[in-house]
């Protein structure tokens, strides 16, 4: 997740680093405030009147309890929302780029079944995709809730029986990436792994054309 290989994952990693940076600042700030409070306990303010103590208390509650969280949540909304849009099948940046490739994914205990609807090719636990082209993954489930996640390529999306969720991935470099079920789904959840292979576009097309087409939808709902 911290070594993104495409724009969807890159957007998430950027938000993650900002959140880490701000969280570190907050922790340091709290430590310093706590240290100051302990030191002051022995100083002049220990003798402050109740009125002064109350007004200081209000200042901290309004500033630290209302203003600070409001600003933090607003900032997260402003910076996090565009990162969220990156994970959706929207055409915000793709003008002139290649059309997205569609892949249908059905999760079940404990296998990922993939299908390329345009060509009819099917795979289990392996996803191949072309470099530099958005891939819209349509995710469903046959049994329980799973979660489709390829950390280096994009966000995770729940696989829910009876509905289809879509997440957009993109790989900007060729390579092999690991996909992992990210929602506890039973005994073999941890082993519900998928190998994702990003290939140069021409190699991908050649690979796809060479695959046997499974005409039936045997075993599928
Ligand atoms: Cu799982």
What pLDDT sits at residue 219? 46
Q: What is the DSSP string of the chain?
A: --S--SHHHHHHHHHHHHHHHHHHHHHHHHHHHHHHHHHHTTSGGGG--HHHHHHHHHHHHHIIIIIHHHHHHHHHHHHHHHHHHHTSS--SS-TTSPPPEEEEEEEETTEEEEEETTTTEEEESEEEEETTS-EEEEEEESSS-EEE--TTT---EEE-BT--EEEEE--SS-EEEEEE--S--STTGGG-EEEEEEE-HHHHHHHHHHSPP--S-TT--
Which residues make up the environment of ion ligand 1, defined by Cβ < 5 Å? 146, 181, 185, 189, 192
CA of 52 to the centre of ligand 1 (A): 55
- Residue 181 CA to ligand 1 center (angstroms) comes to 4
Q: Which fold has domain 101-210?
A: Immunoglobulin-like (2.60.40)
Domain boundaries, the chain: 7-86, 101-210
pTM: 0.80
Gap from CA of 208 to ligand 1 centroid (Å): 28
Distance 188 CA to ligand 1 centre (A): 7
- What mean pLDDT value characterizes the chain? 88
Q: What are the pLDDT digits (tens) for 164-191?
A: 999 999 999 999 999 999 999 999 999 9
Q: Tens digits of per-residue pLDDT, 96-110? A: 678 889 999 999 999
| Distance of CA 192 from the midpoint of ligand 1 (Å) | 6
CA of 124 to the centre of ligand 1 (A): 15
- Regarding predicted confidence, which is higher, 68 or 24? 24
d(CA 209, CA 93): 29
What's the pLDDT at 213?
Answer: 78
Q: How far is the CA of 179 from the centre of ligand 1 (A)?
A: 11
């Amino acid at each position: 997740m911290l070594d993104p290989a495409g724009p969807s994952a890159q957007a998430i990693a950027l938000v993650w680093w900002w959140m880490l940076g701000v969280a570190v600042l907050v922790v340091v700030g709290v430590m310093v405030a706590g240290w100051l409070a302990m030191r002051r306990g022995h100083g002049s303010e220990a003798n402050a009147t109740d009125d002064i103590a109350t007004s200081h208390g209000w200042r901290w509650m309004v500033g630290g309890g209302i203003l600070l969280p409001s600003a933090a949540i607003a900032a997260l909304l402003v910076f996090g929302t565009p990162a969220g849009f990156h994970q959706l099948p929207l055409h915000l940046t793709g003008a002139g780029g290649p059309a997205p490739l569609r892949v249908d994914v059905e999760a079940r205990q404990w296998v990922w079944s993939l299908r390329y609807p345009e060509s009819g090719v099917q795979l289990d636990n392996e996803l191949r995709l072309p470099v530099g082209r958005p891939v819209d993954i349509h995710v469903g489930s046959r049994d329980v809730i799973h979660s489709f996640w390829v950390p280096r390529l994009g966000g995770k999306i729940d696989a829910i029986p009876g509905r289809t969720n879509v997440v957009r991935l993109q790989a900007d470099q060729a390579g092999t990436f690991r996909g992992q079920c990210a929602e506890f789904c039973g005994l073999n959840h941890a082993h519900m792994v998928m190998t994702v292979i990003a290939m140069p576009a021409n190699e991908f097309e050649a690979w796809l054309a060479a695959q046997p087409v499974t005409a039936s939808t045997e075993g599928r709902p």
